Amino acid sequence: MTSPIAKLSFWGVRGSTPTVDPATWRYGGNTPCLELIAPDGTQFILDCGTGLRTLGSRWGAADESRGQETHIFVTHYHWDHIQGLPFFAPLYDEKNHFQFYSFRSKFLGKDSLRQVMETQMALPYFPVDFSAMNAKRKFRELEDSETFHIGKNKVTSRWLHHPQGCLGFRIETSAGTVVYATDNEPGDPDLDKSLRKLAEGADIFINDAQYSPSQLATSRKGWGHSSWKDGVNIAREVNAKTLVLFHHDPDSTDRMVDEILANAREDFDSVFAASEGMVITLGASNEPVQAHMAASRTALRRGAQFRASVSGMTAEGRKFEEETIVRDLSLQGALISLHHSPLMQSELQVTMETPSADGTQEMRLRCYVVRIEEGAEKGSTAVGVVFTD
């Protein structure tokens, strides 16, 4: 009997505002949007940042016959969590059904969620108003600690500590539990307790990690965000299995996020940094959480064969070094065949032998693991990497 599987896809991971800086390409520049497909087929969308546009494009291209109801959870009404909605193509298709969930804002009163969606598309902010969206739409305002079922999945909402309010969501499926707790700042005793209750025993705990611990203690105090250190502390306290660092600051380069991830991994065993295009599968029997990068985030490669020495860290935390062949080389990355299975989002050192007019020379490169698949040869692993130097 096969185990139930849930698939969690990251379409936008950046906080505050989108970025297009080349220095942020690897983790991605779109603002928050996640998609969770539960084992019973229920589709959840978490937040409507600019990543929602890409999700909508892939959705339309992949399946023209969709018609089931999709459940969209909006954590709060700040721009970076709603600004992708006008560009979400499935909302303009009359065969689609959407149920929206969020909270009643004290600033807007009744029908806050509907008001926010309609107002951001009103003149003069957008050339097409909300009535142009032909899909069927329903809106539900949630309370703190509210629990209900969608299909075979249990959903719980809880308040988080963020200016003008924010909800965190816990989705319990037959494959495991996902907790989405973006935009929260430690420091309010009641809301800190609420967050820990929400995240208790989660298989995947997605937590705000926008600022460094030093920023959070000084210049960014009161801005409504958290740090990798707080995420690690909570994950450890509530026995969460895997922590995903989320809502990266727009000024944080890929290198800076790499450093944040490295710091978190020193203190907690299973940590990933949310990356645009990353997919986490949950529920595989007797296996740790699996994460990989979608093919869309890797460059077109050309066949090549270079002898190389590769060193890095395995998924079990052991250092390794082996001789191999680098295949399918591009300007941005490569596909490497290894007998070891490196840790996802870890750094590898690759030393390649390259021919030149003066004979064979060595080229030393640092790269970042974005894909791990079963290799063509028995006992091997195909490792997709992106070069960072």
Q: Which CATH number characterizes residue 313's domain?
A: 2.40.10.220
Which CATH number belongs to the domain containing residue 137 in this structure? 3.60.15.10
The share of the chain scoring above pLDDT 70, in percent, equals: 91
End-to-end Cα spacing for the chain: 45
Q: Examine the domain organization and report whether 285 and 333 are in the same domain.
A: no
Which residue intervals of 63-134 are DSSP H helices?
A: 112-119
Residue 1 lies in a domain: no
Q: What pLDDT sits at residue 370?
A: 84
Type of residue found at 272? F
State the residue range of the domain holding 86. Answer: 6-293
Q: What pLDDT sits at residue 231?
A: 98
Encoded tokens for 305: 């064969």
197: confidence class by pLDDT, cuts 50, 70, 90: very high
What is the average per-residue pLDDT within 253-271? 95
On the question of pLDDT at 299 being above 60, the answer is no
Q: What pLDDT sits at residue 335?
A: 85
On the question of pLDDT at 281 being above 60, the answer is yes
Say how far apart CA 367 and CA 369 lie, in whole Å.
7
Q: What pLDDT sits at residue 298?
A: 52
Q: Examine the domain organization and report whether 19 and 127 are in the same domain.
A: yes
Each residue of 218-251: pLDDT tens digit? 999 999 999 999 999 999 999 999 999 999 999 9
Q: What pLDDT sits at residue 328?
A: 67
Q: Examine the domain organization and report whether 343 and 241 are in the same domain.
A: no
The share of the chain scoring above pLDDT 90, in percent, equals: 68
Kind plus residue range of the DSSP H or E element containing 329: strand 319-329
> Mean pLDDT, the chain, as a whole number?
90
Each residue of 332-385: pLDDT tens digit? 788 888 999 898 899 999 888 766 656 667 888 888 888 888 887 888 888 888
Say how far apart CA 56 and CA 150 lie, in whole Å.
22
On the question of pLDDT at 126 being above 60, the answer is yes
Each residue of 62-78: pLDDT tens digit? 555 456 799 999 999 99
Q: Examine the domain organization and report whether 250 and 280 are in the same domain.
A: yes
Where among 235, 258, 293 does a domain terminate?
293
Q: Examine the domain organization and report whether 279 and 302 are in the same domain.
A: no
Would you say 208 and 16 are in contact if contact means Cβ atoms under 8 Å apart? no
Higher model confidence: residue 300 or residue 268? 268
Segment among 89-98, 139-148, 319-328 with least mean pLDDT: 319-328
Q: Examine the domain organization and report whether 79 and 177 are in the same domain.
A: yes
Domains held by the chain: number = 2
Say how far apart CA 66 and CA 80 lie, in whole Å.
27
Encoded tokens for 301: 């490669």
Q: CB under 8 Å to 110, separation ≥6 — which residues?
A: 104
